[in-house]
A = this chain, B = another copy of it.
Amino acid sequence: MPGPDEEAHAPASDRVRVRRGAIRAEYDRAAILEVLDAGLIAHVGVVTDSGPIVLPMAYGRSDDWLYLHGSAANAALRAAAGRDVCVTVTIVDGIVVGRSPFHNSMNYRGVVVRGTARSVDDRTEHVEALRLVSDHVVATWETGRAPTELEIRKTMVIAVPLVEMSAKIRTGDPIDEPEDLEGPHWGGHVPIRSVWEPAVPALDLHDGVEVPPAIRSLDGRLV
């Protein structure tokens, strides 16, 4: 019988169990959501009549749902509604250089969410989901011009349950062969540092419009 600690760290389903590098698996809900909150875009996999397609999409989340949005004419989004999808969010933190290229790797934080996508048709949830996606990276919903009815209707939203999911996190050094440690080859890692640069006003922005505080506060912050 698994102890309480093992139970808390088991995947919700077998299809989101991390198989390769299982030592880096993370099934703790808070840790998974932390990676989702830090990511910028998701890569969404859908099966179409012409094979699998993987497209980058903006996303947002509530406590229970991951939301994706797009044009109501978006074929991949329409194909996803009611079907199994895989939503993958990956943040690359750097490269790992082993003594042998065989042990090269990357440092990263990644989440995989699998589940059946649901078309969001309820008006209140639809608008709230648009806000969550809009505000995921930086909160612009409140300071922007409110969306019109037409804009809302033109935007399709699908929801994936935050249930079947797992994270995989790698940090630090390569794991080299013991017999290579005394050899002449270098091992280590090279971090990537991503920061927000100053906001660039649109060429057609008229004078006297202030940069919203949420956007101004990004300047120099780590992405």
Q: How many subunits of this chain does the assembly comprise?
A: 2
Q: Which residue of B lies closest to A130 (CB)?
A: B101
Judge whether A41 is part of the interface by a CB distance below 8 angstroms. Answer: yes
Contact at A183–B100, with CB atoms within 8 Å?
Answer: no
A residues lining the B interface (CB < 8 Å): 15, 19-20, 40-41, 43-48, 50-56, 58, 70-71, 73-75, 84-88, 90, 92, 94-95, 97-102, 104, 106, 108, 110, 112, 114, 130-131, 134, 137-138, 140-141, 143-148, 151, 154-155, 173-174, 176, 180-206, 209-212, 215, 218, 223
Q: How far is the CA of A186 from the CA of B202 in the complex (A)?
A: 8
Partner of A47, one of B52, B70, B95: B52
Chain B residues with CB under 8 A of A87: 54
Q: How far is the CA of A15 from the CA of B54 in the complex (A)?
A: 12
With known contacts A134-B104, A144-B185, A114–B197 Cβ distance under 8 A:
no
